[in-house]
A and B are shown apart, each in its own frame.
Chain A
Amino acid sequence: MRAPAILFLLCGSLSGAAAVDSCVTCHSALEEGTKGPATLIKNDVHIAHGLSCADCHGGDRTSTDPEVSMSKAKGFKGKPARTAIPAFCASCHSNPDFMRRYAPRERVDQLDLYKTSIHGKKLAAGDANVATCVDCHSVHDIRPVRDTLSPVHPLRVAETCSRCHSDKAKMAPYKIPTNQFAEYRTSVHWEAMTKRSDLSAPSCASCHGNHGAKPPQVESVAEVCGTCHVLYEQLYGRSVHKPIFSVAGGGGGCVVCHSSHGIQYPNTKMLVGSTSVCAGCHEAGTPQSNTAAQMAGWIDGLGAAIKQSETVLATAESSGMEVSEAQVRLIDGRENLVKSRLALHSMKPEELRVPIDAGMAIARETLQAGQASLRERDNRRYGLGVSVVLIAIAILAIRSLIRRIESNPSN
């Protein structure tokens, strides 16, 4: 009686083990250092969708016998070679019917794009050192892009790229610089992303693409920047610089003045003075250099005029004066300052004058409103002083009247 009972219990426990997934069960029992995949996979997006090791690596997860579960007869593929990884992932990710079941909105052209990328081309040429899917997305603990712990989350993707691109030894054969990440970390884009939590701010993939990653060429830099800075690109396209920069060596377009990875807050010091980028091409005293200085002066003048209006209005407001209309009007002034910085990219002084003149008119108008408010405040206080004196005189007169009345014995 005892033997059939034990067999029954064993079958029961095996059927239970099959539901658990024998790959995870067995690999978890391996020594530290070799059980990595089984530990990492707990956080994997594929597991969350009900997939398992065997769905990628093949084999039979229901069998606890390694000879069976990892047999070629059961379709076991094992660890793919680096050069085979893109196709390995694409067996599902490029299959629209399969992907629709799990992530219907996901694109399925990643492999096609990858093949057009520098990474993909070099891999196809046999260079196994270039990035494949797992180098960016990680392996076995692959998380959705929106997960902040994912290495390709907007906040982390630059760091992920830098793991290879900041590695001098790794980049040496390709003869490309390794300072991009260091420069990017000083840029306005990095600041927007990390300090202001603006996830729409660009990181590596925003300009270089992700799966189809390749550096923008001279002709396309402005277009790449223009995907966000649309109006700037349009004005630059009409400027005298466009055809000149396009044929310049070492990159062209926006990066000539603004650099590429370490883009700083633009200001008029880029136009004039010791830090002028114009001076790189135009010598001091030339008409072009003088025009740049003149345009910088206009923009600085408008900025100073708006600042002055802001200060006067803030003083009036802190004195309790109602200046909200002027403050709302000053928003238009600030808008014109932004427009003037924009118009600068046409490099046509007459186009720059339009927002400058409009902004200066608003700055003057709001300054006058603020100064009128301050005069009104002073008038109120003078009026108050006079009123208080008159009231004091009235009180003293009444006091005197009371004394006179009360000094009369009949009262």
Chain B
Amino acid sequence: MVRDLMDHKVVPVHAGTAWYYFGGITLFLVGVQLFTGVLLLLYYRPTVAEAFDSVRFIMTRVQFGWLIRSIHSWSANLLILSAFIHMFSVAFTHAFRRPRELTWLSGILLLGLMLGFGFSGYLLPWNQISYFATKVGTDVAATTPFAGPAIARFLRGGEDVGAATLTRFFDFHVLILPLITFALIGLHLALVQKNGMSTPSGVPPSKLAQMKFFPNFLLRELMVWYGVLAVLGTLAAVFPWELGEKADPFASAPAGIRPEWYFLAQFYTLKLIPSHVWIFEGEILGLLGFGALAAIWALLPFWAVERYGASRTRLANGVGVFLVFYLFVFTLLGYFK
């Protein structure tokens, strides 16, 4: 079957072929995360007393520990960036259309899981910034209508961020999320193989040039992976991921506390919303807005396809442009303000 796949799988060649590489880059970075994550597990200890010191030990005493930890952290960020680019490239090329609805949905879920990896992994070094960012993050989760307090308690393992939260987040990060992720990646890849690579809408596949996946496209993908590896190595060597100070729950929150960049847009939006809007609490309204936007976006294949008319696809492009603009501008504002 693999032999058959290698012989017959082809990649359409057109102006947007470069976007195909981002799926592979994301997969490559997942592999980097897995490899470096397993190495970090050799020394990391998920307890409040030992977590910070074990990460410091990795960075200062373990041979190449600094490299592994920095690559793990940088790769996590590049992975999310690459996953976003992959998602928007699929959206703008309408690659989510039939029969690839399930591929799109599994991809959206995978992006959500990557954000979950980011959120849970951020706490693991148990430093001051990550501790308070997790507090803020779980506080936001607590404002979810109806189930908020229960969600926050589930995430924290209690009323506040503490030892139980750390072990829980560790469990999510190294066991639960990876299991779900690998299953979903398997499904996502199987669907890509089953349905083949999407071609631009309006152009019959027979009119497009094709490239054999193996070896032509795979070798090109390999070149890109090497490039990504060089970027990762450069970031890790020139800008090693800092460790900060050990978390002190009794200290006041550091000034300018903010979450990782991929949550900054939402974080900044929540800051802008007044505490009360009409009969709603501001945070609840914000969360409802994010939820509605995410649902509309996730359901793209079901409302934004040609059979419902060109206006719908134009609307989908408009929503996509709005999302990119919103995420870009609000992330910058959240970072600099």
Contact = CB atoms under 8 A, between A and B. Distances in A.
Contacts, number: 60
Interface of B is mostly: helix
Interface in A55-70: none
B240 A406 contact: no
Contact of A320 (B219, B240, B245): B240
A164 B84 CA distance: 75
B223 A381 contact: no
Interface string B52-63: 000010011000
B200 interface: no
A319 to B, nearest CB: 8
A388 B234 contact: yes
Given A320-B240, A322-B66, A411 B216 contact: yes
A304 interface: no
Interface stretch (B90-98, B112-120, B225-233, B297-305): B225-233
Interface stretch (A182-190, A251-259, A391-399): A391-399
Contacts of B239: 320
A402 B227 CA distance: 16
B242 interface: yes
B238 A384 contact: yes
B212 interface: yes
B276 interface: no
Contact of B226 (A325, A383, A391, A406): A391
A383 B70 CA distance: 15
B223 A395 contact: yes
B56 A324 contact: yes
A1 B157 CA distance: 82
Interface in B235-276: 237-243, 245
A383 B237 CA distance: 9
Contact of B219 (A321, A325, A387, A402): A402
Contact of B216 (A384, A388, A402): A402
A398 B220 CA distance: 8
Interface in B180-238: 212, 215-216, 219-220, 222-223, 226-227, 229-230, 233-234, 237-238
Given A324-B243, A405-B215, A380 B237 contact: yes
A399 B233 contact: no
Interface of A: 320-322, 324-325, 380-381, 383-384, 387-388, 391-392, 394-395, 398-399, 401-402, 405-406, 411
